[in-house]
Structure 1
């Protein structure tokens, strides 16, 4: 009867029907299906008071499907029209299901949430899940605003480039508000076109700690805080691109305030934060209220502000550990400590194996905090492939290739470089080399090399040269400097314009 959408009267009593779907019959006023053999009845048509009279007794039903919003109404008003013991649910037997499917070709009215019969909207699937369930979402664009509703479930898109949740300027695109923990997962989506008048145009994280991975968060806005993502709990972000978001107030890319207990610690790894803007402070990231953030292999570039802190803004006793990261070409200053009135709430930042425009001078503390300047930091053009076109891959001549560290220990805690980059490429690459700075890993690189043969090739201009056979030095003197007594410097044919000094070393320098 699905093609008869204008049907107002349906009488199919005294037949042998075992299954009946009237979800498309939104005009029904009189409906009788007694004395059949029904084991399945779908009444997800949105009809409640419109149904003047109906009866479905003398069947084999145990559960009847109605719209999620109509379950309470059906229970209160229709129970007597069915055999004793019949209940109502959006999808009967949903408690026993653990995997749900959504596709643009699906239907919330007639779909059962299986791979063969998917639902049409992500929120509908979330509503029927129970703890630890998974929602798999096929590629396509879903115009909706979703809320995990406190459920620790995984919502997984087919691919972050092709599976899009579009907020349609109708509020935050995604919300975690009710203490979801790290087993609440959002992965494989583009989150776009959200607009909020409060927190987060893109993803709003209240007092929750979800896992956000393999996402693109772009072109969202708020009139207050957190254009891309607003955080109040301790989410974990990995392999996330945050770009082109804006906040009229604070935090164009990310706004973070401390969790409501002493456990505040937010981890970002393989995150790209580019081209975000704020009407006040913190173009890339704004931290306040005692927030603690650990950034490993993060690239923060080309973010802007109307007051202070193009890259990172810290206010009110916040702490940042910046490891293997790049903070470049944001509106000056790159990193800024707010004075917070009487300077009684100092901030602190620890930097190791990272590249900041201006080096130490790129961090303005206002005498309201401390900088711990660790090993391996540089202030050098990273030679992105094409920053003007938002391509922040490292070019083959980038000086930050093999310039990071496999692990860094800060205050007794060891932070390890991720084993892949933001695109899933192996890190370090090639295997056995030293990882690169930033979110992207170049396919070239060099590891630690200790001779005893040191290689020199005038035609090689690798910025990550270590004198090994795959990464030779470009000058003979570099080979001599690296060599120890008894070592050999092997020089490829070519012309070397230099004046060399053995510096008292008993070594052999051998030309081709």
Structure 2
């Protein structure tokens, strides 16, 4: 066999190998693209209208909103992030179970949305709690462009879980996190609860464009007295100079 023939055979074999590789690569790329397209998005945005929304048949769009924040969370994959836009003011009078989701509750800038926190009594218990966000696993809470209206606390003993964000049990996050951006507080009387309830040994509190009323001093972190300098508290990360 001549050298030219051998070279031609090698070139042909090489071309077959290249064609085979290219075909496999195309198939692999197509399979990866299909898998990515089929995977659920971990980031969701839904509209919530407590008056006109529908948890059973709503789509979570502005035209077809959900009724509750809980439904917006339930419609988000575990570990995902959900931005819940409030079509109207919202009354929070129960625990919202975050179940590992990262929740953002937002009002459109300038809309004056209000998140009204009310007291409630859980079935089978004897101590009052307040509407709150129950964190677990990697849950976080952000409030954006809303006025948080805190209740006038009832007389007598209150539950240890009388706080805006709390956790409990083996699924409690290592750190409880709350971020408030361009928010305001409204106090409807003497508030005896906390922004953070129990459930974690670490706390992260961020207040951006949000003034904390002096009446809330000592009501931010469990076990931290009013006027305590943040730099003196090792288990709290915050941009506030004092608590």
TM class, shorter-chain normalised? 0.5 to 0.7
Q: 1:186: which partner in 2?
A: 143
Q: 1:173: which partner in 2?
A: 131
- Counterpart of 1:216 (choices 184, 205, 216) is 184
- Counterpart of 1:197 (choices 159, 181, 185) is 159
Distance 2:150 2:178 in 1: 21
CA contact (8 A) 1:141 1:165 kept: yes
Structure 2, gaps ≥5 residues long: 1-39, 121-128
- 1:473-492 superposed matches below 5 A: none
Q: 2:37: which partner in 1?
A: none
Distance 1:147 1:190 in 2: 21
Q: CA deviation at 1:133?
A: 3.1
- Counterpart of 1:100 (choices 33, 46, 54) is 46
Structure 1, gaps ≥5 residues long: 1-94, 258-280, 301-311, 313-512
Q: 1:363: which partner in 2?
A: none
Counterpart secondary structure, 2:130? coil
Q: 2:13: which partner in 1?
A: none
Counterpart secondary structure, 2:70? helix
Q: 1:254: which partner in 2?
A: 220
- 1:421-460 superposed matches below 5 A: none
CA contact (8 A) 2:91 2:118 kept: no
Distance 2:111 2:228 in 1: 24
Counterpart secondary structure, 2:46? strand
Distance 1:127 1:284 in 2: 39
Q: 1:291: which partner in 2?
A: 235
1:238 and 2:207 aligned:
yes
Tell me the C-alpha RMSD between the 2 structures. 3.8
Q: CA deviation at 1:285?
A: 5.2
CA contact (8 A) 2:72 2:82 kept: no
Query: Residue deviations 1:416-455, cap 9 Å, x none?
Result: xxxxxxxxxxxxxxxxxxxxxxxxxxxxxxxxxxxxxxxx
Distance 1:113 1:180, change over 3 A: same
TM (norm. structure 2) is: 0.55
CA contact (8 A) 1:139 1:159 kept: no
Q: How many residues align?
A: 175
Distance 1:242 1:160 in 2: 20
- 1:326-345 superposed matches below 5 A: none
Q: CA deviation at 1:289?
A: 7.9
Q: CA deviation at 1:204?
A: 3.2
Distance 1:221 1:199, change over 3 A: farther
Q: CA deviation at 1:102?
A: 0.7
CA contact (8 A) 2:131 2:164 kept: yes
Q: 1:133: which partner in 2?
A: 82
Distance 1:174 1:141 in 2: 12
Distance 1:173 1:160 in 2: 24
Q: 1:115: which partner in 2?
A: 62
TM (norm. structure 1) is: 0.29
Structure of higher RCO (CA pairs closer than 8 Å, 6+ residues apart): 2
Q: CA deviation at 1:152?
A: 2.3
Distance 2:221 2:54 in 1: 36
1:164 and 2:114 aligned:
yes
Distance 1:211 1:294, change over 3 A: closer
CA contact (8 A) 2:103 2:139 kept: no
Distance 2:110 2:203 in 1: 22
